[in-house]
Structure 1
Amino acid sequence: MGSSTGTGTAAGTAPSTTELMEQVAAVGAAYFHDFAAAAARHGLNSSQAKALKAVLEPVPMRALAGRLGCDASNVTGIVDRLEALGYARREAAAADRRVKIVTITDGGRTVLDRIRADMGRARAAFDSLDTEQRAALSRLCDQVLPLLQRP
């Protein structure tokens, strides 16, 4: 992978773990910037848009905070905004009425689809991969992601 990105020391030499970590961080940051810009064009900040993805299946408020990596008090404001826009709703859990479950609405699914469709740079980058490259990248993500998500 010794390309113009500066990784590896000679042709055919694999990048070091540090170099690879930097490359993945750069890809993640570029993806996030594209996501945040698309979300903004649809009236949401990145946390609100990320929350929509996190509630594609109903999620308790506390678990949503964990998924978003923020304090539970911050999630209240995020969900308040999504509810005001008609993109999500809160309902009491059947087993414990004190627990609030957040669910995406049809409107929320629509705006999330529009945000994803509006991510031009990310789409162009991934569209540049051929079928074999896509499959390889998917396998690598499937291998690495569970290790990164461990508690």
Structure 2
Amino acid sequence: MSGTQILDSLLALSQVLEADQARELERRGLTQPRTHLLWVLYQGGPVTQAHLAEAIGVTPRNVTTLVDALEATGFARREAHPTDRRAVLVHLTERGLSIMETMDAEHDALGSDLVAGLDDETVRVTADALQHVLTTLQRLVAEHAARQDEQAEPS
């Protein structure tokens, strides 16, 4: 299989995963950015909005909008920070925790289903190869972006 064939397969996989994710999130009344925020809370517990902004790579203003929407739909809530009067902590609600536990279990089940029928060595080699492809792609994208930035700078 050539590098181009691998790239084409990765693009096809990406499209299938993205379409499935969008469908499942919409069914649950969520978006990708809101789910990303919930995932951070699920993995790490209550945190400040400033921490959430940094963790998901958005502006504090954007986090405020996301948390407002998650509060309005019952997935998250704000509470006063116990030691910093200027800050609030964002928590998962019972509804938010339940949906994240469900999504985490579905994630694990899909991962298991994807490798069902493969022996341990094939799974290991595949995981190593995919990690190599991911690392290489990240490097190539970063290098390309840097070249584009250099070309865009006025002389």
State the TM-score, normalized to the length of structure 1.
0.64
Give the letter for the 2:99 counterpart. V
User: What are the Cα deviations for residues 49-104 of structure 1, in whole angstroms up to 9, with x where unaligned?
Assistant: 11111111112101111222111101111111111222111112222121121111
- What is the number of residues matched between the two proteins? 129
For 1:66, which of 54, 59, 66 is the aligned residue?
Answer: 54
Equivalent position of 2:34 in the other structure: 48
Whole-Å Cα distance in 2 between the matches of residues 23 and 96 of structure 1?
49
Checking the alignment, whether the CA contact within 8 Å between 1:89 and 1:105 is kept in structure 2 is yes
Equivalent position of 1:38 in the other structure: 24
Q: Percent identity?
A: 29
Unaligned runs of 5+ in 1: 8-18
User: What are the Cα deviations for residues 123-143 of structure 1, in whole angstroms up to 9, with x where unaligned?
Assistant: 2x7513136245556677889
Structure 1 residues 127 and 4 mapped into 2: Cα distance closer, same or farther (>3 Å)? farther
Give the letter for the 2:34 counterpart. Q
Equivalent position of 1:14 in the other structure: none
Structure 1 residues 62 and 100 mapped into 2: Cα distance closer, same or farther (>3 Å)? same
Matches within 5 A, 1:2-151: 2=1, 6-7=5-6, 27=13, 30-56=16-42, 57-115=45-103, 123=110, 127-129=113-115, 130=118, 132=120, 133-135=122-124
State the TM-score, normalized to the length of structure 2.
0.63
Give the letter for the 1:98 counterpart. R
Structure 1 residue 24 displacement after superposition: 5.9
Structure 1 residues 98 and 108 mapped into 2: Cα distance closer, same or farther (>3 Å)? same
- CA-atom RMSD in angstroms: 3.5
Structure with the larger RCO, 1 or 2 (CA within 8 Å, 6+ apart): 1
**Which has the larger Rg?**
2
Unaligned runs of 5+ in 2: 139-155
Structure 1 residue 29 displacement after superposition: 5.6
- Give 3-state SS (helix, strand or coil) of 1:95's partner: coil
Whole-Å Cα distance in 2 between the matches of residues 137 and 99 of structure 1?
45
Whole-Å Cα distance in 1 between the matches of residues 125 and 32 of structure 2?
28
